[in-house]
Amino acid sequence: MTTTIDPTARRVPPLGGFNLTVLRIELTRMLRNRRTIVFTFVFPAALFLAIGSSAGTQERVGHGNVAAYIMVSMALYGAALTAAAGGAMVATERAMGWSRQLRLTPLHPAVYISMKALIALILGAVAILVVNVVGLVQNKASMPTTVWVECAVLTLVCTMVFAALGVFVGYLVPGENAMQILGPGLALLSFLGNVFIPLDSGSTLWDIAAWTPMFGVAEVSRAPLTGELPWYAVVNAVAWLAVFVAGAAWRMSKDTARV
Amino acid sequence: MDLLSVPDDRATAGAPASPSTAAAIRLRGVTKDFGAVHAVRGIDLTVVPGEIVAFLGPNGAGKTTTLDVLLGLSHATTGTAEVLGLQPRQAIARGLVAAVMQTGGLLKDLTVRETVTYMASLFADTQPIDAVLEHAGISDLANRKVGKCSGGEQQRLRFAIALLSDPALLLLDEPTTGMDVEGRRAFWAAIRADAERGRTVLFATHYLEEADQYADRIVLMRKGRIVADGTGSQIRALAAGRTVRATLEGADPDALSRIDGVESVEVRGDTVLVHAKDTDPVARYLLNETSAHDLEITARGIEQAFLALTGDHGDDDTTATLEGEPR
């Protein structure tokens, strides 16, 4: 560090600062976090074992059985929780002044959020994998292998909705409180979304539930298994994704005024 | 009264004008409003490469807002800001500008090495990580979690991050808060060495003394305006003014004003008050040439002068006069 500083010799990094080093450090960091481990690995699997072990799990549903139906639902819940927690980390990092520090680097804000969303999806995939492995070991769930894979992939795609929700709530609620809203909130949405217990089709509760964010993605995730995909479920899933992405983008643009 | 200011063309006076030596900082008519609050009310400032500039002023003077504009964190309401001939964001993207804040900006659950590696991965060119850790004296902390580091160690980490890209402009907010005298001296020696390589340093501070000791130039802000801009000795001269008070019937204000170094003359009945940079000629005149008696000379303290410049007079247009020697 003895040469003269030459401002004209400097370059801009490619891809707005996107790089694998950050992804690696962020992943290591998430996996070191005890709360993430509980959300991602332990909780959904335990819930699946608790609900999926009850009577009647061998009854047929579409191309598989009830145990498979519950397994897909629990994988979605686990992935949603994990992805939302990952997205909400944006809030904690803002409170700690980390976002401001990052604004003093070439990292583009949109790239920062994209990397966060990617981490959330990777962790969501881990959550899905864990529930599926537990289901495989338990050996109660039954469906064709292709359906199994299709359900897992669709669940991961649906996880994006909750990564966006996490970022949105993260920007909306200061600091550590985001997860205190997202945790119970997602549990409630899962009840309404037919994820924990089946709601009676045509009931008033069902009519309300059909409008909530977890309802659509749950139907979509299970579509390969059930063999049916109602149009309103797709509309629901796409609409909520749009709402959460727009919300996150709106809060982010407000944020740049004073990081 | 004359506003103490340095003409804008000092960029060309200090360094030969060529494309590679654009001004490190060039602010032209910068204002910044937050709703009805006018945080910055029109600033013109040019800083040449390699200069160490102290940004002095009370809280709410607009220092932080001005730094934010320079860092591209907020946009000027009117006027333009250029850093090394580029828009602030463009300069940031090239790793040309870095800033060290007093608090925050670190993730507690990352290790020191992870933090530096993370930051380094965002720039196109950086110093080797081990060298940066070594230079900042935190090699032995590399595997410690940031949350377990002391305040001083975290501050060293912030400096390590700021110096990763070998920035041409370094902005510091109260850099030596919490440092002991020895640490402060070592810190400024390092800053000075880097300035000789062409790095420009602008630091915000509350301490006139530190500004005077370590900066090439002091810029005083008050209520969103620059109220004084000059070398330490010019500012010190401003602070070193004295007041002569004497009892004298029928004083001649004009004759007193003509004495070298006199800034102002006040006559209150039989009492005459003369403010001057150098009061000896005033005293000599009063005792030798007039019937003045009960002579009293009081020094205007540094703090007093600083307050006079930066304090609230309820008059936004108050400016300071400085008849300092040419730079």
Residue scoring higher pLDDT (A254 or A77): A77
B97 and chain A in contact, CB less than 8 A: yes
Q: Does residue B316 sit within a domain?
A: no
Please identify which residue in the block is written with the tokens 């002091």.
B218
Q: Report the alpha-carbon angle A81-A82-A83, nearest 5.
A: 95
Identify whether residues B255 and B149 lie together within a single domain: no
Confidence of residue A194 (pLDDT cuts 50, 70, 90): confident
Identify whether residues B118 and B230 lie together within a single domain: yes
The answer on pLDDT for A41 being more than 70 is: yes
The residue range of the domain holding B154 is: 10-236
Identify whether residues B217 and B273 lie together within a single domain: no
The alpha-carbon gap from A249 to the nearest alpha carbon of chain B, in Å, equals 18
Tokens of A242: 């749009």
Nearest to A10 among B49, B118, B125 (CB): B125
Q: Does residue B143 sit within a domain?
A: yes
Report the half-sphere exposure of B263 (CA within 13 A, side-chain side). Answer: 21
pLDDT for res A196: 82
Q: In which residue ranges of chain B is pLDDT below 70?
A: 1-21, 236-240, 300-327
Between CA B17 and CA B216 the distance in angstroms is: 20
Neighbours of B5 (CB within 10 A): 16
pLDDT, average across residues A14-25: 90
A227 and chain B in contact, CB less than 8 A: no
Confidence of residue A201 (pLDDT cuts 50, 70, 90): confident
Q: Does residue A9 sit within a domain?
A: no
pLDDT, average across residues A187-197: 86
Contacts of B109 in chain A (CB under 8 A): 29, 32-33
Nearest to B198 among A5, A22, A102 (CB): A5
ipTM value: 0.84
The CA-atom distances, in angstroms, between B140 and each of A51, B144, B151, B294 are 50, 9, 16, 66
Q: Does residue B5 sit within a domain?
A: no
Q: Does residue B309 sit within a domain?
A: no
pLDDT for res A49: 86
Q: What CATH number corresponds to the domain at position B259? A: 3.30.70.100
Residue scoring higher pLDDT (A76 or A178): A76
Identify whether residues B247 and B121 lie together within a single domain: no
Between CA A140 and CA A67 the distance in angstroms is: 6
Scanning chain B, the segments in alpha helix (DSSP H) are: 10-14, 63-70, 88-93, 112-120, 129-135, 151-163, 181-196, 208-214, 232-239, 253-257, 280-289, 302-310
Q: Does residue A44 sit within a domain?
A: yes
The alpha-carbon gap from B227 to the nearest alpha carbon of chain A, in Å, equals 26
Tokens of A68: 């498979």
CB A18 within 8 A of CB A111: yes
User: Of A26, A105, A119, A255, which to mutate for an interface test with B (greatest number of B Cβ within 10 Å)?
Assistant: A105
B193 and chain A in contact, CB less than 8 A: no
Q: What is the pLDDT of residues B104-123, one digit of tens each?
A: 889 999 999 999 999 999 99
Nearest to B104 among A29, A97, A102 (CB): A97
Question: How many interface pairs between A and B have CB atoms less than 8 angstroms apart?
Answer: 116
Nearest to A106 among B22, B123, B166 (CB): B123
The residue range of the domain holding A179 is: 17-51+60-255
User: Of B34, B92, B103, B118, which to mutate for an interface test with A (greatest number of A Cβ within 10 Å)?
Assistant: B118
Neighbours of A6 (CB within 10 A): 11
Residue scoring higher pLDDT (A218 or B207): A218
A11 and chain B in contact, CB less than 8 A: yes
Identify whether residues B156 and B210 lie together within a single domain: yes
Between CA B42 and CA B294 the distance in angstroms is: 46
Q: What CATH number corresponds to the domain at position B49? A: 3.40.50.300
Start-to-end Cα distance in chain A: 31
Q: Does residue A4 sit within a domain?
A: no
Identify whether residues B232 and B247 lie together within a single domain: no
B220 and chain A in contact, CB less than 8 A: no
Q: What is the pLDDT of residues A114-127, one digit of tens each?
A: 888 889 889 899 99
pLDDT for res B6: 39
3-state secondary structure of B230: strand
SS3 sequence of A103-158: HCCCCCHHHHHHHHHHHHHHHHHHHHHHHHHHHHHHCCCCCCHHHHHHHHHHHHHH
Partners of residue A64 on adjacent β-strands: A61
Q: Does residue A166 sit within a domain?
A: yes
Tokens of A224: 């390969």
pLDDT more than 90, % of chain A: 31
Contacts of B72 in chain A (CB under 8 A): 103
Partners of residue B244 on adjacent β-strands: B274, B297
Pairing relationship of beta strands B271-276 and B293-299 according to DSSP bridges: unpaired
Q: Does residue A186 sit within a domain?
A: yes
Identify whether residues B172 and B50 lie together within a single domain: yes
Identify whether residues B161 and B264 lie together within a single domain: no
CB B80 within 8 A of CB B28: yes
**DSSP conformation class of B21:** G
Identify whether residues B68 and B82 lie together within a single domain: yes
Between CA B247 and CA B259 the distance in angstroms is: 18
A37 and chain B in contact, CB less than 8 A: no
Identify whether residues B81 and B225 lie together within a single domain: yes
Q: Does residue B327 sit within a domain?
A: no
Tokens of B60: 């709410």
Q: How many domains does chain A have?
A: 1
Q: Does residue A3 sit within a domain?
A: no
Q: How many domains does chain B have?
A: 2
Q: Does residue B324 sit within a domain?
A: no
Identify whether residues B20 and B56 lie together within a single domain: yes
Nearest to B121 among A6, A10, A22 (CB): A22
Q: Does residue A11 sit within a domain?
A: no
Q: Among B219, B236, B253, give the residue marking a domain's end.
A: B236
Q: Does residue A72 sit within a domain?
A: yes
Q: Does residue B323 sit within a domain?
A: no
Identify whether residues B187 and B262 lie together within a single domain: no
Verify whether the Cβ–Cβ distance B73 to A259 is below 8 Å.
yes
pLDDT, average across residues A62-79: 90
Q: Does residue B306 sit within a domain?
A: no
